[in-house]
Amino acid sequence: MFIKPIVKPNILFQYEALLPRLRESYPNKPAILSDYKRILAGYYGEKSLQYYLSRSPSANYQKFHSIRLSINGNYFQMDFLLIAPEKIFILEVKNIAGTLKIQPSLQQVEWTNTQGITKILPDFVIQAESQKTQLNEWLNKHCPSNKPIETLVIIANQSCQLVIPKEEQGHPSLDSIIRSPYLPAKLDSLSKTNTNVKPHQNPKLQQQILTQDCPQTLNILKNYDLSDSDLISGFRCTCCSEGFFVRWNRKWKCYSCEVVKKTSEIVHPLLMDFRHLHGPLITNYQFRRFASVTSSSQAYKTLRSLNLPTIGTKKSTTYNLEMLAKL
């Protein structure tokens, strides 16, 4: 049972609003695109576990996706947190293409990507064990539990080659690294190991996790030191994700794929882009700048037609876009 289901993180929507509007001349665009692809791959890897987590024995576990908690002012995030009657499991998911040389004695993983470039990554198991230590501290503070915590590193990319050097074979931490198809059997095996804990579920723990969960927020423009001058204004075409709309016979036509839309059909995507980039509040002036519309009265009619909650009156009117996010 998923208490917190697998959903697309807000940060991906932010990148998807930013990248089509970012001018090709912006020098850091390839790096921003690389960040987006990395986060997207992580999400796809986590999403691919849904099938395996729906199988016995974990089908009846309390399952939480992407939980971020704080202990002593420091945040830690877990890809998956599973609460079984006898144990608690932390799953750290790695959706990486290429070759991974696991070197636990050096506390590192040597990754060679599909382009043949090699990078050194921190040890995956140590990363998961750090989350375990922090979760133990958090539990002792908020909801004491005597359930043992197990950590697993899941390799979600089935084409990823795992290499274990001869001198590393037999290292105990390797037992914690598995491929995703083996997850149900591994959970079953670990659940059956002897514990002195009486099987039970704690409703208070579930509620505490949901209450204390604090998803990461990002001011994406500030994060990359971007200004409005770096962005292309106008109504972006969501059909081809490449072009922008221009006025055509009282409607709007994408100059790239030539699809034709009514004004009412292109306003919502534009306002969602604004919300992801600038936040949930927008004024008539901000709308005109972002949409590349010159008429204040036309902007007023467009915004008023959406029946959005407002703050202030006349020129100081601010429209709240949160309602659109729920549509």
Q: What is the pLDDT of residue 202?
A: 76
Q: For residues 253-277, give the mean pLDDT.
A: 95
**Exposure string (b/e) for 13-31, b if CB count within 10 Å is 16 or more?**
bbbbbbebbbeeeeeebee
What's the rounded Cα separation, in Å, for the pair 249 and 88?
A: 61
Whether the pLDDT of residue 15 is over 90: the answer is yes
**Vertex 317: Cα angle to 314 and 318 (nearest 5):** 170
Q: For residues 271-278, give the mean pLDDT.
A: 96
Q: Could you tell me if 232 and 290 are in contact, meaning their C-beta atoms sit under 8 angstroms apart?
A: no
- At the topology level, CATH places domain 233-325 in Arc Repressor Mutant, subunit A (1.10.10)
Q: What is the pLDDT of residue 197?
A: 63
Candidates 77, 58, 52; CA nearest to 178 is 52
pLDDT band at 274 (very low <50, low <70, confident <90, very high): very high
Q: What is the pLDDT of residues 220-261, one digit of tens each?
A: 999 999 998 999 999 999 999 889 999 999 899 999 999 999
Residue 315 has a CB neighbour count (10 Å cut-off) of 10
Q: What is the pLDDT of residue 325?
A: 79
Candidates 126, 143, 290; CA nearest to 202 is 143
Structure tokens belonging to residue 103 = 């070197």
Whether the pLDDT of residue 154 is over 90: the answer is yes
What's the rounded Cα separation, in Å, for the pair 77 and 68?
A: 4
Q: What is the pLDDT of residues 280-309, one digit of tens each?
A: 999 999 999 999 999 999 999 999 999 999
Q: Could you tell me if 215 and 246 are in contact, meaning their C-beta atoms sit under 8 angstroms apart?
A: no
Whether the pLDDT of residue 43 is over 70: the answer is yes
Sole residue written with tokens 């994060």? 223
Alpha-helical regions (H) of 68-123: none
The 3-state DSSP class for residue 90 equals strand
Candidates 92, 126, 87; CA nearest to 106 is 126
Average pLDDT, the chain: 94
What's the rounded Cα separation, in Å, for the pair 239 and 303?
A: 23
- Domains in the chain: boundaries: 2-212, 233-325
pLDDT band at 156 (very low <50, low <70, confident <90, very high): very high
**Vertex 12: Cα angle to 9 and 14 (nearest 5):** 115
Q: What is the pLDDT of residue 59?
A: 79
Q: For residues 154-158, give the mean pLDDT.
A: 97
First to last CA, the chain: 26
Give the pTM.
Answer: 0.91
Q: For residues 90-103, give the mean pLDDT.
A: 98
Kind and range of the H or E element at 269? helix 263-278
Q: Could you tell me if 267 and 256 are in contact, meaning their C-beta atoms sit under 8 angstroms apart?
A: no
Q: What is the pLDDT of residues 158-183, one digit of tens each?
A: 999 999 999 999 999 999 999 999 99
Q: Which residues pair with 22 in a beta bridge?
A: 231
Q: What is the pLDDT of residue 196?
A: 66
Q: What is the pLDDT of residues 181-227, one digit of tens each?
A: 999 999 999 988 766 666 666 788 999 999 999 998 899 999 999 99
Q: What is the pLDDT of residues 58-95, one digit of tens each?
A: 778 999 999 999 998 999 999 999 999 889 999 999 99
Q: What is the pLDDT of residue 193?
A: 77
